[in-house]
């Protein structure tokens, strides 16, 4: 395993980390995660991404891990109903209490990160040191476009998720949808999701010969591609079986094979078209619920 500093912090993190989000959490209990985390740790992984909501958790993450603190606390999605300054102050309060060493953003736009950093500098508070965006061969806009000016300006680190685009870049869907996969869901049978799936599965199929030339799996090549970006601090892996994790952890051995020439070959198949950040649909949903709640309060006031 190789390691990077996490942004401008003193945390040395493994280039591969383990994420603990699962689409169907009912199948995975504590013993499963103990096995997976132990396996990752034995391979040099020291970055584990978790959340209070993962696994239907109802206790604080630090308490669940029997720790007094976490190294990094992420503020997941910027809240449109809360001033950025209030969020910055809240994250600094958490750090001052000793509950976390650093804080970061997750799925924040570059504009909100800049605002948070400027507020922190003005008030003598701690900046966010890291952002957590999606990044893979099929989705590059956040890392390679929206955030690109922040790596040098603010020494921003990145912990990226979905390096396999929810499994599509493994190539396993090129011959159909395996039974039990998320893509057998009715929501992927018609409409824009079905079109998105079909289009990207076709692209993933064209990448398989490149991986074969490297002597590795499509999954390993795709993960190594993400790791090779010098601005990425750690790439979060997911797995539903220990065997999957064993395979994807070997991607670190493929990183040296991701040459500029190979990236050009990949770019020839997957055209990178930068896209401006879209409005966060979850933020809009929260806003609607808040307005509905306020109307109820006013009605009974």
Find the helix packing angle between 242-249 and 218-227, rounded to 10°.
Answer: 50
**Residue 34 annotated to the active site:** no
Q: Of these residues, 54, 183, 289, 300, which one is catalytic?
A: 54
Tell which residue, 144, 159, 139, has the closest CA to residue 222. Answer: 139
Quick check: helix, strand or coil at residue 128? Answer: coil
User: Residues near 286 by Cβ (< 8 Å), separated by ≥ 6?
Assistant: 79, 80, 81
Quick check: helix, strand or coil at residue 294? Answer: helix
Quick check: helix, strand or coil at residue 221? Answer: helix
Order of strands across the sheet with 130-132? 48-49, 16-19, 234-237, 157-160, 130-132, 100-106, 70-76
User: Residues near 43 by Cβ (< 8 Å), separated by ≥ 6?
Assistant: 1, 16, 249
**Residue 164 has what DSSP assignment?**
T
Tell which residue, 95, 133, 96, has the closest CA to residue 112. Answer: 133
Q: Give catalytic residues, as residue numbers.
A: 54
């Amino acid at each position: 395993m190789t390691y990077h500093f996490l942004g401008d912090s003193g945390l040395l993190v493994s280039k591969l980390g383990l994420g603990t989000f699962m689409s169907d959490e009912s199948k995975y209990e504590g013993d499963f995660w103990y096995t997976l985390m132990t396996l990752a740790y034995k391979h040099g992984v020291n970055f584990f991404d978790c959340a209070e909501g993962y696994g239907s958790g109802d206790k604080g993450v630090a308490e669940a891990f029997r720790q007094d603190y976490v190294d990094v606390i992420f503020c997941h999605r910027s809240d449109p109903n809360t001033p950025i300054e209030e969020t910055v102050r809240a994250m600094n309060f958490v750090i001052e209490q000793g509950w976390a060493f650093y804080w970061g953003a997750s799925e924040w736009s570059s504009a909100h990160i800049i605002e948070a950093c400027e507020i922190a500098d003005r008030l003598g508070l701690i900046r966010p040191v890291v952002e957590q965006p999606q990044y893979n061969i099929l989705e590059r806009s956040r890392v390679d476009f929206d955030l690109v000016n922040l790596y040098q300006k603010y020494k921003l680190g990145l912990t990226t998720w979905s390096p396999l685009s929810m499994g599509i870049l493994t190539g396993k869907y090129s011959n159909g949808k395996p039974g039990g996969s998320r893509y057998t869901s009715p929501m992927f049978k018609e409409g824009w999701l079905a079109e998105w799936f079909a289009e990207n599965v076709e692209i993933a199929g064209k990448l398989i010969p490149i991986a074969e030339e490297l002597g590795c799996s499509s999954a390993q090549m795709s993960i190594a591609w993400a790791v090779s970006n010098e601005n990425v601090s750690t790439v979060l892996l997911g797995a539903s079986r220990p065997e999957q994790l064993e395979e994807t952890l070997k991607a670190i051995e493929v990183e040296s094979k991701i040459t500029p020439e190979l990236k050009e070959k990949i770019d020839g198949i997957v055209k990178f078209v930068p896209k401006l950040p879209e409005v966060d649909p979850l933020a809009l949903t929260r806003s609607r619920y808040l307005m509905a709640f306020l109307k109820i309060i006013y009605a009974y006031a």
